[in-house]
Amino acid sequence: MSITSSVITNMDQLLATWQKGDQTFVSDGIVDSSKFFTEKVKLLFLLKEANQGVGSDLRSYLRDGSEITSQDLTWVRAAKWTDGIINFFDFNRLFNWHQLTEEYLKDPSAYYKKWLSKVSVVNLKKTPAKGVSRLEDIKAYNENSVNREFLKKQIDLIDPDIIILASEVVESLYRDFTQDYSPLNVVMTPHVKGWIEGGTNRLILSTYHLADTLCDEPNEAEHQLWYRDMMEVLSRLGRNG
């Protein structure tokens, strides 16, 4: 069995055990193994909580890409950021936001499918909120010893080179269960901070929730500033993938 097949088999077994018949459980992880393992850098988006609108498997939802719209800011940003990051590490190309947007507008559905198929996405809490998302529910879920153990195993199986912590809540919870790994070479910008994780040498990027808006209405200027800060952090930390 190849390493790729072994990882996927172990991931499926882990998720099946984790689910334990919970019909609200949303599976996640490596979106498309045939794409993920061919990239120079393995990218993980770590999010706080599953969404009700993606069905029982987030991986299938993202592989298909047809139901994602321009209003789904999390996936719009994730796709464009993936485009920028992969081109930066694989081809030493630093695209600006306008270049990414130009490519995106040619065929948004195809763009989502192309770029989101190259990443892994993991929710800290695998079940959607019952009504309004509550911080205490997310924390309680991650304080459960079984969930905590399985989450560590899932991240270890993915073995990412770069992790994007998509909210302050995610950063706090992630830092809690990786406290043995000290952050090195911390870089701060207005929208994104990053560091090299001691012990794993992973490049960690911490930012706001990807669906957040920094002003009353989301606009291209806001998107551009956010993306610019992320690429500045990557440039200053170097190519550690």
Q: What is the mean pLDDT of residues 229-236?
A: 91
Q: How does residue 139 score in pLDDT terms, banded at 50, 70 and 90? A: very high
* pLDDT band at residue 241 using 50, 70 and 90 as cut-offs: very low
Mean pLDDT of the chain: 89
- Judged against a pLDDT cut of 50, whether residue 215 lies above it is answered with no
- pLDDT band of residue 232 (cuts 50, 70, 90) is very high
Q: Which amino acid is at 23?
A: Q
pLDDT band at 53 (very low <50, low <70, confident <90, very high): confident
pTM: 0.93
Q: Which residue has the higher pLDDT, 76 or 131?
A: 76
pLDDT at res. 150: 96
Higher pLDDT, 240 or 163: 163
- Size of the chain in residues: 241
Q: Encoding tokens for residue 25? A: 């459980």
Which has more confidence, 230 or 215?
230
Cα–Cα distance for residue pair 108/201, rounded to 1 Å: 34
Q: Which two tokens stand for residue 119?
A: 């990443």
Distance CA 174, CA 199 (A): 15
pLDDT class of 213 with cuts at 50, 70, 90: low
pLDDT at residue 219 is higher than 70: no
167-198 pLDDT per residue, tens: 999 999 999 988 878 899 999 999 999 999 99
- Better pLDDT: 7 or 224: 7
CB 30 within 8 A of CB 8: yes
Model confidence at 19, pLDDT cuts 50, 70, 90, reads very high
Question: Could you tell me what percent of the chain has a pLDDT over 90?
Answer: 65
238 sits in which H/E element: none
Nearest to 184 by CA among 172, 176, 195, 192: 195
Q: Which residue intervals of the chain are DSSP H helices?
A: 3-19, 33-36, 58-64, 73-91, 97-106, 108-116, 135-143, 145-158, 168-177, 220-237
Alpha helix ranges (H) inside 37-144: 58-64, 73-91, 97-106, 108-116, 135-143
Three-point CA angle 24, 27, 29, nearest 5°: 155
CA distances from 63 to 38, 163, 204 (A): 16, 20, 24
Q: What is the DSSP letter of 53?
A: G
The residue ranges of every structural domain in the chain are 3-15+25-237
Q: Chain centroid to CA 194: how far?
A: 14
Q: What is the pLDDT of residue 177?
A: 84
Q: What is the pLDDT of residue 197?
A: 94
Assigned CATH for 3-15+25-237: 3.40.470
